[in-house]
Structure 1
Amino acid sequence: MTVKNCEITIRPNGALQILSKQEANQLCDHSDKGLNDLLRRCALAVLNTGNNLDSGEKLLEMHPEFDIKVQSRGRGIELILCNPPETAFIDGEMIEGLREHLFAVVRDLIYVRNSIIDSGLFDLTTSKGITNAVFHILRNAEVLRTNEEPNLVACWGGHAVSRREYEYSRHVGISLGERRLNICTGCGPGVMKGPMRGAEAGHHNQRFNNRRYIGLSEPGIIAAEAPNTVVNELVILPDIEKRLEAFVRLAHGIVIFPGGPGTLEELLYILSIMLDPKNANLPYPLVLTGDHGSHAYFDEVKHFIAATLGEIAAERLNIILGDATSVASYMRQSMQLVKEDRKQTSDAYYFNWQLHIEPELQMPFEPTHASMRALNLTKNQPAHQLAAQLRCAFSGIVAGNVKAEGLRAIAQHGPFELKGDPQIMQALGRLLDFMIQQKRMKIDADNYIPSYRII
């Protein structure tokens, strides 16, 4: 429901007290050069925290009268919310966590536009320049902590999952929390929420006070998938590639749960990095896990990886099923290996500088009909480069499923087309068909129409 015919003014508590009038004007600017449309979409998603939609367009349809304005007054910044969702308020007061998230959105949109993209200080056409930009965005958001030993686990997985899978991810979170490990996810619903919710309980059991539930998102994703209610540190990166790089440089290990095309995009991204010979000696713990009912899912994933990237890549998949304790124990033990490596190489605990990431994993991939058809899905290239190309294919499928620009492109021109070696295309088609059967593509999977065509 919407609080109709009203304007509500909120101010930050603590950080981001001040914006210049120029910055406030940027956030109110409705033109292509302004930030208001982006702010409106992200703010509406934040105010709907906890909902189970995965479509930003549907969210806008549900709240067509919502708007947001920004003012810079003598005493600091004000956000004026016009017709906001009623669920964002308790007894007329905005929920404090949502207030924090709103100002995190403002902070990141302004910083990325003015200090990264338009400043001329970052060469975003080079690998070093992009990594430097990711570092500065995370530092500006104050998520880089210098005096903490490795303890951050990134948890990836689907938003459209069964209750059984969600509960298992929560149990993994409990085991991680009881070992004083913190959690970083894509901050949405499903198994992006489960590990955080579980870690809350595990941290409480251990009376662990340094509780971190970091959510990393980007405008196209957050507008479609609202943050969950557990996130206490939210960062909005400018695109999916910088978001993925932030994950692997910030976190000290990764746990991957069952999911849809977005989860395969993430898996292929980290596999491309791990298969790169330049990273051969770097410890980076990776576990794929699910409850005992996930055997079929991981069998299909392993078959796909073996058929496309080879048996060596499939052997890198450390799969643990139905044993949350073993997953957490493996991660806890691996933190010591990461710590020793960082000490020997004099690398920071809080940001993995030594990890090599190829430029094709860093440059933003814009899924269009032309760019999807142009992907090199053949075996006449090293496995880590093929993994990067397959990552782009799944990124396009995600865009066609939930992102506004992808949905518009498909509505206008039909499904994206993917072509390549017959063996690769057969394996890709088999995996995608399996995901459709398991209803992993979208939350409203009963009505799913593929956003792609395999040639």
Structure 2
Amino acid sequence: MANTIASCTFSPLGAMSLLSKSEVAHLLDTSQGGLYKLFRNCCLAVLNCGSQIDDCKTLLEEYKDFDIRIVEQERGIKLELSNAPAEAFVDGEIIQGIREHLATVVRDILYGRELIHQFDLNHIGDLTDVVFHLLRNAGVLKADQEPNLVVCWGGHSISRKEYDYSKEVGYQLGLRNMDVCTGCGPGAMKGPMKGATIGRAKQRTGTGRYIGITEPGIIAAESPNPIVNQLVILPDIEKRLEAFIRCTHGIIIFPGGAGTMEEILYLLGILLHPSNAEQPIPIVLTGPASAAEYFAQVDGFIHHSLGEEAQSRYQIVIDDPAAVAKIMTAGALDVRNYRKQHGDAYNFNWMLHIEPEFQQPFNPTHENMNGLNLYKEQPVYQLAANLRRVFSGIVAGNVKEEGIRAIEQHGLFEIQGDKSIMEPLDQLLKSFILHNRMKLPGAAYNPCYRILD
């Protein structure tokens, strides 16, 4: 049985302690299409920080008695928790960082709802505006900030050597006054932030920014780690990925599983579009010496599926954290100069062209997964978009509540396509399973997919 705190009442932080009656009603609306389920599940994921649960369905079942209510008072509101995970408390008091993250849940769910009514989500330009408004509302976009934000991607299930290496890279970034943005979870998302705090402390340059960008479907598998001091919850995975690359000045990719490959393919697919050929975004794939084979497999898969042009967009650096940090600082300067020359914002890459295939949400149903065009007779950026959807579906089947239930009801996702792509894809996925990159160590993994001959 889960260890829980029976009852706790506290005020959310900042402006979120003041809500209108209609906002309270929306958050507590349990009807079809209401916000309560989304609100409750995201709050539970935040409270579950540090847990070894990495799928939403299991989390919801373990804490099925958890509840959160809003108590209206003369001087603002209070949040009332029932049967909340005990890990979120110290001596009966909720941890301050988790309290901040709960206020973020309130903020982003309510503001996201407002944006849905303000913008046409079938219009591509409006989709980018939604991403911009959510980031600005969260305080991520600062007009006077020099380009220094490095996005770090990588798996939540990694080895200790890989985690320590990601921490060392973060340390080198912190020494160079770089800020860090990750998917906000554990593993390769926590390591760079933890290392950067030490590097910045040595330089006496303040705490730095540790930005975590997530979305409701993945937050349970990757609960925000306690170092995140700016959390943003985007409505879906596509807007989350767009947020990463619109606000970044360089990207570091550590070893990971299906989610990391989804991120890599999303990034490469956008950069392979002819309109983005001149975009100077430094990209480094890196890990300790033990990860050399992993990156050789990833690089080989990209070669077989997307070709040499895609490979030319990144560097692979093995076992050299200082070199990675130097590439990022030099690359950020190139980004600054390019955007200044073209009159673009330092904090949000408006010039980056993103096709509808990368912005419209993909629903990984069995029919949609089986119907993906995974053949080479199409523009390479479109192939990258469809390959990204393959990994998005696998992530859903691995850790997201709806995906897990769909597999239980209808069987495995079936994937088919060009043999020259399917064979290296199959080998890559088998390697992820063998090295425990699909689930946290100790958890049995049952594949949610089948690759057809």
Q: Give the TM-score of the pair, scaled to structure 1.
A: 0.97
Judge conservation of contact 2:105–2:233 (CA < 8 Å) in 1: yes
Q: Give, as a single letter, the amino acid of the residue that structure 1 aligns with 2:244.
A: F
Q: Give, as a single letter, the amino acid of the residue that structure 2 aligns with 1:179.
A: R
Judge conservation of contact 1:302–1:317 (CA < 8 Å) in 2: no
Q: Give the TM-score of the pair, scaled to structure 2.
A: 0.97
Q: Using the TM superposition, give the Cα deviation of residue 134 of structure 1 relative to its aligned residue in structure 2, in angstroms.
A: 0.5
Given candidates 243, 250, 254, the residue that maps to 1:253 is 250
Partner residue of 1:24? 24
Partner residue of 1:398? 395
Identify the range of structure 1 (396-405 vs 65-74) with the bigger mean alpha-carbon deviation.
Answer: 65-74
* 2: CA distance, partners of 1:423 / 1:73: 63
Partner residue of 1:193? 190
Q: Give, as a single letter, the amino acid of the residue that structure 1 aligns with 2:409.
A: Q
Task: Please tell me whether residue 47 in structure 1 is matched to residue 47 in structure 2.
Answer: yes
Residues 240-260 of structure 1 show CA distances to partners (whole Å, capped at 9, x for unaligned) of: 000000000111110000000
Residues 57-206 of structure 1 mapped to structure 2, 5 A cutoff: 57-113=57-113, 115-117=114-116, 119=117, 121-206=118-203
Residues 362-401 of structure 1 mapped to structure 2, 5 A cutoff: 362-401=359-398
Q: Give, as a single letter, the amino acid of the residue that structure 2 aligns with 1:84.
A: A
Q: Using the TM superposition, give the Cα deviation of residue 210 of structure 1 relative to its aligned residue in structure 2, in angstroms.
A: 5.3
* 2: CA distance, partners of 1:396 / 1:186: 18
* 1: CA distance, partners of 2:417 / 2:442: 27
Judge conservation of contact 2:251–2:283 (CA < 8 Å) in 1: yes
* 2: CA distance, partners of 1:397 / 1:445: 20
* 2: CA distance, partners of 1:166 / 1:81: 33
Q: Give, as a single letter, the amino acid of the residue that structure 1 aligns with 2:341.
A: Q
Residues 234-249 of structure 1 mapped to structure 2, 5 A cutoff: 234-249=231-246
Identify the range of structure 1 (24-33 vs 329-338) with the bigger mean alpha-carbon deviation.
Answer: 24-33
Taking only aligned residues, the RMSD between alpha carbons, in angstroms, comes to 1.2
Q: Using the TM superposition, give the Cα deviation of residue 418 of structure 1 relative to its aligned residue in structure 2, in angstroms.
A: 0.6
Structure 1 runs (4+) deviating above 3 angstroms are: 1-4
Task: Please tell me whether residue 339 in structure 1 is matched to residue 302 in structure 2.
Answer: no
Q: Using the TM superposition, give the Cα deviation of residue 77 of structure 1 relative to its aligned residue in structure 2, in angstroms.
A: 2.2
Q: Using the TM superposition, give the Cα deviation of residue 72 of structure 1 relative to its aligned residue in structure 2, in angstroms.
A: 3.4
* 1: CA distance, partners of 2:412 / 2:419: 20
Partner residue of 1:13? 13
Give % identity: 55
* 2: CA distance, partners of 1:88 / 1:389: 39
Q: Aligned to 1:295, what secondary structure does the other structure show?
A: helix
Judge conservation of contact 1:216–1:234 (CA < 8 Å) in 2: yes
Q: Aligned to 2:16, what secondary structure does the other structure show?
A: coil
Q: Using the TM superposition, give the Cα deviation of residue 451 of structure 1 relative to its aligned residue in structure 2, in angstroms.
A: 0.6
Q: Using the TM superposition, give the Cα deviation of residue 75 of structure 1 relative to its aligned residue in structure 2, in angstroms.
A: 1.1
* 2: CA distance, partners of 1:204 / 1:15: 30
Q: Give, as a single letter, the amino acid of the residue that structure 1 aligns with 2:61.
A: E
Q: Using the TM superposition, give the Cα deviation of residue 436 of structure 1 relative to its aligned residue in structure 2, in angstroms.
A: 1.1
Q: Which runs of 5+ in 1 are unaligned?
A: none
Residues 262-307 of structure 1 show CA distances to partners (whole Å, capped at 9, x for unaligned) of: 0000000110111111001111111000001111101100110011
Q: Aligned to 1:385, what secondary structure does the other structure show?
A: helix
After superposition, the Cα gap between the structure-2 partners of 1:246 and 1:32, relative to the gap in structure 1 and judged at 3 Å, is same
* 2: CA distance, partners of 1:228 / 1:274: 30
Question: How many pairs does the alignment contain?
Answer: 451
Judge conservation of contact 1:25–1:70 (CA < 8 Å) in 2: no
* 1: CA distance, partners of 2:426 / 2:93: 49
Given candidates 307, 310, 313, the residue that maps to 1:313 is 310
Task: Please tell me whether residue 299 in structure 1 is matched to residue 272 in structure 2.
Answer: no
* 2: CA distance, partners of 1:136 / 1:446: 38
Q: Aligned to 1:221, what secondary structure does the other structure show?
A: coil
